[in-house]
Amino acid sequence: MITALDISTSALVAQRVRLNTVSGNIANMSSLTDETGKAAPYQARKVVFQTDDELTTSGASGVKVGEIQTDQSEPLYRYEPQHPLAIKDGKWKGYVAYPNINLTEQMVDALEATRAYEANVGVMEITKDLSRESLSIIA
């Protein structure tokens, strides 16, 4: 039964990383510059999970964060020639590049991560109750 707790714990950690990533995406929806101050719109991040082969029982496996991918889609361009970060030349002259982040998708992803987190807390509570009841039968 302890393995069941380990598997649920791995899921809690993975969902926490996912929720932190979504929070960062939402917080940076208006970021038009990178860390150095250069004009570069923020690119959304997405967490990719994978099976954790170290946490396996007969019917279940743990989960871990496989990687955090950066969205490579085109930014959203808005024509704002007076903006200080407007593109000076080329095809997009006079346009400002904004992050291509969909708030609705991010909120749904956050809600899904929260529900998965809550479900795993429930599994942990049931596992603890079963362990407690098993011990009371033995004693």
Token reading at 47: 């967490």
Mean pLDDT of 19-30: 96
Scan for tokens 């380990």, then name that residue: 6
Residues with Cβ within 8 Å of 114's Cβ and at least 6 positions away in sequence, in order, are 15, 19
Q: Is the pLDDT of residue 86 over 80?
A: yes
Scan for tokens 């599994």, then name that residue: 123
CA–CA dist 75, 91 (Å, integer) = 14
pLDDT tens for 35-61 read 888 899 999 999 999 999 888 777 788
pLDDT tens for 60-77 read 889 999 999 999 999 999
